Structure 1
Amino acid sequence: MTSLDTIDETEDSGPGGYAAARLRLLSEKGRSGPSRRASLSRLTDDWLAALFAAGAADTGVRGAALVAVGGYGRGELSPRSDLDLLLLHDGNDPAAVAALADRIWYPVWDLGLALDHSVRTPGEARSTAAEDLKVQLGLLDARPVAGDLGLVAALRTTVLADWRNQAPRRLPDLDALCRERAERQGELQYLLEPDLKEARGGLRDVTALGAVAASWLADAPREGLAEARRILLDVRDALHLSTGRATDRLALQEQDQVAAELGLLDADALLRQVYEAARTVSYAGDVTWREVGRVLRSRAVRPRLRAMLSGGRAPQPERTPLAEGVVEQDGEVVLARTARPDRDPVLPLRAAAAAAQSGLPVSRYAVRRLAQAAPPLPVPWPAEAREELVTLLGAGEATVPVWEALEAEGIVTRLVPDWERVRCRPQRNAVHTWTVDRHLVETAVKASALTRHVGRPDLLLVAALLHDIGKGWPGDHSEVGETIARDIASRIGFDRTDVGVVATLVRHHLLLVETATRRDLDDPATVESVAKAVGSVTTLELLHALTEADALATGPAAWSSWRGSLVADLVRRAAAVLAGDAPADPEQAAPSAEQERLAMEALRTGEPVLALHTEPAAPAEDGEPEPVGVELLIALPDQPGVLPAVAGVLALHRLTVRAADLRAIELPTGATEQAEQSVLVLDWRVAAEYGSLPQAARLRADLVRVLDGSLDIRGRLAEREAAYPRRRGITAPPPRVTVAPAGSRLATVIEVRAQDAPGLLHRIGRALEGAAVQVRSARVSTLGANAVDAFYVTGTDGAPLGDAEAKALATGVEEALR
């Protein structure tokens, strides 16, 4: 059997000649894109036509034709595309036709080409198309390759007539098919590993839009659609060539190679180009399917209109005023007849705000007219323009489609020029659901639900829209974003004080969540640093709402009731400091009654004592309760190895650690009035990875065994880690351990960033124990596959480490984790 990968290129006829010519064509560096696809289709046509002619002569078949359908019919052959072929015949000699089919199909299979084939009469093809929508869509692109051209022309005429006659019934089915596929495959313009064909905004949707146009019922916006289709096809070609596989999924590990094949700078440039194309296709689909629905509704009421006309009344479309120059007509927002967009620079924002507030889409023609005719807003903006922007951002979910319509026609980048830098910019972080620009809009959507909790909702919404605007520039996006946000807020027309607040919110939009999850809230330095950065209670209130909105818009892994409670606790403490109250000194805080009781029991028995307290589950946004968290209190006589032992036992029982506080309590032994013994009390917040929580007795028994050496926790965890699932082809970046500058006055803060894995906290604890430092507390946080943990450590004297000692500790822990 001959294969495309092993073909002798010296062959010049038959299957070998075609394969050699095909390989030469695909290896030509100067030939790519539409030119190569067209040449590959012509080359394949010539080869198949020769096979057909030879086969027809040998079998005596007449009244037959070889027809290219689907992607091959459209001339969209990528290097590893299927050949979609129909052998059409008049039905006079089925046995001869079957023999002819074998003469065509087997050489295709022998070359290792994927083949989607069928053998039908025109009547059978028409009947199958009536039953199977996908078959009918393929036949819309039918193109003759060889044989009886009249037979093919008749079939095309019949299929197109059927499609147009059945459009009112078939187009809703096609719409449902597209929606179901989008639900299953996701939106191409936001996926880190998109399917170029099946995802929403991909090549399947381009084909669907062509089918709608063929129905004559409606048509897709043509601007940019052909270019978007070309880009997606070019990327698929490069993907096939770089991988050698017939795949449509742009996997992470292949993106750099595909980008190089296309002459692009890097994988980010590739994804951004793909996202731009997908966005064009998606917007065209939204507009087209809305138009299909409008036409079908109008056809449904046509008999009633005819009756009205027969009575001498000319029906007029109903138009409901929404705002100055803006009306609703037939389920869309359009411009009033009296509107003068050339004299009203605020009209684009007024129309957008009215559409979002009423939950209606903006007519494409209205947006196009506004983009072409409306003059630019003066700088600073008039108050009305600023208010309309805030109204648009505060409309909730309805903001998104309106914003997308403004983006599609370039209005957004006219209003906010810096938007171009973040438009379609990918975020290579599995925690993030959206591209940068869509994340900003989604954050404003989430912030709109929190406007009742703040005194200045306008500042909250604008800061939400701008908080990641710096991601389009090099450097720390928070610092860069502060400068950009200050400029934009001034352009929008806020006064100097409000501009300062917006800039502060953008600069510190990560401050609360990072501090709450990575720092000891009982340390006075932690709360004082937050209060100093924020500056006022009003700004703190806004930052609290922005933090929640940002996290909710990021993705499910970025927010939880636990993170929310930590942030709320930090905000409460910072507000007290801003009000003039000094933060409490944790060294002077007395242990709780529960801690003291457990410590006394541990002192009496000389063994660990455990208590589990279940926290009530908080409902998530979708109404489902979040995983229940628990407080785990452990008391035991002070001894070496406690931290790695406890961490190891928790990992063994599949408990995720969220926070850990360690303190030593001095208790009288009873031997003499002065004699005291130190008892360690560990206060942990944990949650079950899955399944039910383990019993305290089991945890205690395993902890005792680890401490006395009868349970090899390191070996057990090593087995778990070896079995931990890892994605093939993905190499995690190495761990990084640093000393947080000015993290605390009471301890040295060691920050660990590493790939999350079973037993990670146990390994960190062993490294810290080996360095002979004391761990006061820990903040453990996991974002997606990444762990970000902070440990408050002191020397044996209870004082923070010196600079050189701290640096050496960080280096040692990093080496241990590698």
Structure 2
Amino acid sequence: MTESVEETAGPAGAPGPASASGPALEGGYPAARLRLLQDEEPSGPDRRAALARLTDDWLAGLLKRHASAAGLSGTALVAVGGYGRGELSPRSDLDLLLLHDGRADAGALAALADHLWYPVWDLGLDLDHSVRTPPQARKAAREDLKVQLGLLDARHLAGDPELTATLRTTVYADWRETAPKRLPELHDMCQERAERQGELQYLLEPDLKEARGGLRDATALRAVAASWLADAPRGGLEAARTRLLDTRDALHLTTGRATDRLSLQEQDQVAEALGMLDADALLRQTYESARTISYAADVTWREVGRVLRARSVKPMLRGLLNGRTAGRGERSPLAEGVVELDGEAVLARTARPERDPALVLRAAAAAAQAGLPLATHAIRRCATAYATRPLPVPWPAEAREQLVTLLGAGAHTVPVWEALEAEGIITRLLPDWERVRCRPQRNPVHTWTVDRHLVETAVRASALTRRVHRPDLLLVAALLHDIGKGWPGDHSTAGETIARDVAGKLGFDARDTTVIATLVRHHLLLIETATRRDLDDPATVGAVADAVGGTGTLELLHALTEADALATGPAAWSTWRGGLVADLVKRVAARLAGEPEEDVRGADEPTAEQERLAIEAGRTGGPVLALRARTEPATEDAGEAPAQEPVGVELLIAVPDQPGVLPAAAGVLALHRLTVRAADLLLLDPIGDGPVLLLSWRVAAEYGSLPDADRLRVDLVRALDGSLDIPARLAERERAYARRSRVVLAPPPRVTVAGGSSRTATVIEVRAQDAHGLLHRIGRALETAGVAVRSAHISTLGANAVDAFYVTGTDGAPLADGAAQGVAAAVQAALQ
């Protein structure tokens, strides 16, 4: 068998065999090719296919003529790669394989190859070529993944079809046999290319082929499908790939070069060639296509990993089970209706999304909090159900809280949000999102498109939630601060109107809605003022103070400013800028200090039911509980009075005042898997039988059903008399769930003394990540510190707990400054 003749290189225009150049140009191929490229019809896929057919005929004629003249048989010309798929862009290179059976003379074979390659170079076309026998081609594929990928698209052009058929059969058989080994290699190749080229959907000058989400990734997905191990989500994938190919065609025709990079100076011409409005419309379509391919790649590679893990485990299981059938993967609960299975967040078997429109947000929040991908089939089930039963307007409290939890999950928010967006959930929940989706930002300071920048700002804001009194308002304002960029005019002005409307739909009250709208309207105020105005001018500080209106809004705006800048790009924030903004905030806060402070909640008057429970607890000397559903008006139907819909469960507990009530009650709730969304603790003396602690909780079951009130009362009595060891039980619970560790890197807890908030008590404020037993640990720390809790106000805002405790010394007076700081330090230490 003769040796293969491989990679016989020759630059364009290089002199070939005497007979190659002239005959190669006969038959009118160059003129026909030029006419086809200049013709406005056909375009897109039809033109690529027509160009491939034209080239097929030309090359087939070359092989037939010169093989016959040399008396050679047992040869075949094969197109591979993009040409093998029948897709030729105007300046695409030609990937060709001259296949032979090994019986031909090496010199005659080399001469035949020259008669094929040189005419291509004479036309100025790039050529990737080789000459091999089928076994040699198979060996090269086994040794080089890129060769193997190209041969998966092998297509017969001319010569002996049996040679091509044999090669295709063996290549596909080898690919499927070696897929468990080659697919991880292919994934690594894709990852390395993405790190080198960036993400197409965010680049101002993207490489349509090499960047992540480009044509290379689409080809890789075809290879995965050919392995029969996994397949990509097909929805919109082929259309996305076609749009990128069409854009590359227009780029080739516009520039006259074989380039894949969509440069800024060429975008207007390419957009015009494609009949699009402008370069922004071109980029937006390009980004949407890349996002579709990237999402399909994420899902596909995750499925590949799952299949390969299962294959590696099965032999071990068979050995362990001695022939018994292995069961399904273990499910671990994450939230009501949501479980973890095989490294994904999926819907529980009992979940009914058609009856639970908030389930999609609960599932998304649970997935992000656990650092898990949200399974595609779970999203699609929820999307189908949501189409028939969307969330009521305004949203119920749970849906709003789950959205805040999702936004506050840090970096893990991004992949979950992108999955929801890819399946159309986000624009159903927030219709205004459609105008900013995939919208480019031509300012080079910006790293992301508008929509991704908004999500990134929420991610950055999640790390700043300990600095603000209302993390939920910060996170929602972060998500909406640039929402006006989808409309003409000043985006801050337009955004204020949109944010006010969205906040109302989410169920925020009038006051919170105004704060969110103010934050969106003035999200650039601090950075622009600090860097462009004289801070020593009283008018500068006064203007900012008038715009923000209060210290609470100023606090939120400061955090939003930093999050926005950090999410913009490395050039948008620095120590110098941060210092200027902090100086401005300090001056504005001083100006606002002379005005009435925003309301700080104190002891509220008890309701009639609360007073009744307090009287009964005082008379019986033991705890009294009431568990009832809280309702609010549902959306009005035409001609009907609004019905009442349940929005949560209220638990009222009245207990004669004694040490340890707060940590005992909080511990009992944690043991019963009840999440405290809001709570108040009041100290009453209703009938003179001694003070009674009244705890009013708004709770929800983390998963499963609510416990019986009598069972809660029994456990509370045991906790108070010491027969129920709550710390030990909670520690046992933590160990049991340690295998399902949450990977969210939450900011550390922050415990401060809120000076000036009350004249009759010291206010200890705790901001921390919500977790099992958090309130129990706080209560124990306060009890150990020897202070009396006069009242407490508990708020769980998404994944953040913001709790205020009004405490006094044993004499009933506020604590001295040193003592107060000591209590704060003790609570902080208990939460580390």
TM superposition score normalised by structure 2: 0.68
Q: Which of 469, 474, 490 is the matching residue for 2:488?
A: 474
- Which residue number in structure 2 is paired with residue 135 of structure 1? 147
Q: Which of 442, 445, 462 is the matching residue for 2:456?
A: 442
For the pair 1:161 / 2:173, whether they are aligned, the reply is yes
Deviation at 1:305, TM superposition (A): 2.5
SS in 2 for 1:146: strand
For the pair 1:18 / 2:32, whether they are aligned, the reply is no
Determine if contact 1:350/1:388 at 8 Å carries over to the other structure.
Answer: yes
- Which residue number in structure 2 is paired with residue 699 of structure 1? none
Return the alpha-carbon distance in structure 2 between the equivalents of residues 275 and 98 of structure 1.
Answer: 46
Return the alpha-carbon distance in structure 2 between the equivalents of residues 312 and 423 of structure 1.
Answer: 51
Determine if contact 2:496/2:517 at 8 Å carries over to the other structure.
Answer: yes
Amino acid at match of 1:387: E
- Which residue number in structure 2 is paired with residue 267 of structure 1? 279
Determine if contact 2:24/2:119 at 8 Å carries over to the other structure.
Answer: no
Alignment of 1:542-621 (within 5 A): 542-580=556-594
Return the alpha-carbon distance in structure 2 between the equivalents of residues 128 and 444 of structure 1.
Answer: 49
Return the alpha-carbon distance in structure 1 between the equivalents of residues 286 and 238 of structure 2.
Answer: 14
- Which residue number in structure 1 is paired with residue 62 of structure 2? 51
Cα deviation digits, residues 370-403 of structure 1 (max 9, x gap): 1112321000000000000000000000000000
Return the alpha-carbon distance in structure 1 between the equivalents of residues 391 and 160 of structure 2.
Answer: 63
Return the alpha-carbon distance in structure 2 between the equivalents of residues 156 and 31 of structure 1.
Answer: 31
Return the alpha-carbon distance in structure 2 between the equivalents of residues 16 and 92 of structure 1.
Answer: 31
SS in 2 for 1:425: coil
Cα deviation digits, residues 300-353 of structure 1 (max 9, x gap): 111123235535454231000101110000000110000001110000000000
SS in 2 for 1:433: coil
- Which residue number in structure 2 is paired with residue 227 of structure 1? 239
SS in 2 for 1:343: coil
Alignment of 1:283-682 (within 5 A): 283-310=295-322, 312=324, 314-374=326-386, 375-580=389-594
Deviation at 1:367, TM superposition (A): 0.9
Determine if contact 1:308/1:314 at 8 Å carries over to the other structure.
Answer: no
For the pair 1:182 / 2:194, whether they are aligned, the reply is yes
Determine if contact 1:283/1:405 at 8 Å carries over to the other structure.
Answer: yes
Deviation at 1:59, TM superposition (A): 1.5
- Which residue number in structure 2 is paired with residue 64 of structure 1? 75
- Which residue number in structure 2 is paired with residue 202 of structure 1? 214
- Which residue number in structure 1 is paired with residue 87 of structure 2? 76
- Which residue number in structure 1 is paired with residue 40 of structure 2? 29
User: Which stretch has the larger CA shift, 369-378 or 33-42?
Assistant: 369-378
SS in 2 for 1:301: helix
Determine if contact 2:337/2:348 at 8 Å carries over to the other structure.
Answer: yes
Work out which structure has the larger RCO, using CA pairs closer than 8 Å and 6 or more positions apart in sequence: 2
Cα deviation digits, residues 250-269 of structure 1 (max 9, x gap): 00000000000000000000
Unaligned runs of 5+ in 1: 4-10, 582-818
Deviation at 1:369, TM superposition (A): 1.1
Change (3 A) 1:343 1:359: same
Return the alpha-carbon distance in structure 2 between the equivalents of residues 58 and 523 of structure 1.
Answer: 92
Amino acid at match of 2:194: A
Change (3 A) 1:312 1:169: closer
- Which residue number in structure 2 is paired with residue 802 of structure 1? none
Amino acid at match of 1:536: G
Amino acid at match of 1:26: L
Amino acid at match of 1:147: G
Q: Which of 226, 229, 240 is the matching residue for 1:214?
A: 226
Cα deviation digits, residues 553-584 of structure 1 (max 9, x gap): 00000000000000000000000111129xxx
SS in 1 for 2:142: helix
Return the alpha-carbon distance in structure 2 between the equivalents of residues 423 and 168 of structure 1.
Answer: 37
Return the alpha-carbon distance in structure 2 between the equivalents of residues 151 and 13 of structure 1.
Answer: 25
Return the alpha-carbon distance in structure 2 between the equivalents of residues 248 and 563 of structure 1.
Answer: 38
For the pair 1:112 / 2:124, whether they are aligned, the reply is yes
Determine if contact 1:12/1:18 at 8 Å carries over to the other structure.
Answer: no
Alignment of 1:728-739 (within 5 A): none
Cα deviation digits, residues 744-785 of structure 1 (max 9, x gap): xxxxxxxxxxxxxxxxxxxxxxxxxxxxxxxxxxxxxxxxxx
Return the alpha-carbon distance in structure 1 between the equivalents of residues 294 and 24 of structure 2.
Answer: 45
Change (3 A) 1:161 1:12: closer
> What is the percentage of aligned positions where both structures have the same residue?
77
Return the alpha-carbon distance in structure 1 between the equivalents of residues 210 and 64 of structure 2.
Answer: 36
What is the count of residue pairs matched by the alignment?
A: 575
Amino acid at match of 2:352: R
Return the alpha-carbon distance in structure 2 between the equivalents of residues 539 and 75 of structure 1.
Answer: 60
Cα deviation digits, residues 175-212 of structure 1 (max 9, x gap): 00000000000000000000000000000000000000
Return the alpha-carbon distance in structure 2 between the equivalents of residues 313 and 207 of structure 1.
Answer: 37
Amino acid at match of 1:400: V
Amino acid at match of 1:517: T
Return the alpha-carbon distance in structure 1 between the equivalents of residues 263 and 548 of structure 2.
Answer: 42
Amino acid at match of 1:22: R
- Which residue number in structure 2 is paired with residue 612 of structure 1? none
Amino acid at match of 1:164: R
- Which residue number in structure 1 is paired with residue 742 of structure 2? none
Return the alpha-carbon distance in structure 2 between the equivalents of residues 373 and 38 of structure 1.
Answer: 41
Return the alpha-carbon distance in structure 2 between the equivalents of residues 21 and 198 of structure 1.
Answer: 31
Q: Which of 96, 103, 121 is the matching residue for 1:92?
A: 103
Cα deviation digits, residues 277-298 of structure 1 (max 9, x gap): 0000000000000000000000
Determine if contact 1:15/1:111 at 8 Å carries over to the other structure.
Answer: no
Return the alpha-carbon distance in structure 2 between the equivalents of residues 71 and 312 of structure 1.
Answer: 48
SS in 2 for 1:86: strand
Amino acid at match of 2:70: T
Return the alpha-carbon distance in structure 2 between the equivalents of residues 19 and 474 of structure 1.
Answer: 48
Amino acid at match of 1:365: H
- Which residue number in structure 2 is paired with residue 170 of structure 1? 182
SS in 2 for 1:557: coil
Change (3 A) 1:317 1:290: same
* Superposition RMSD in Å: 1.5
Amino acid at match of 1:20: A
Unaligned runs of 5+ in 2: 1-11, 15-21, 596-832
Determine if contact 1:181/1:198 at 8 Å carries over to the other structure.
Answer: yes
SS in 2 for 1:558: coil
Amino acid at match of 1:58: A
Cα deviation digits, residues 455-481 of structure 1 (max 9, x gap): 000000000000000000001000000
Return the alpha-carbon distance in structure 2 between the equivalents of residues 245 and 456 of structure 1.
Answer: 55
Amino acid at match of 1:573: R
SS in 2 for 1:72: helix
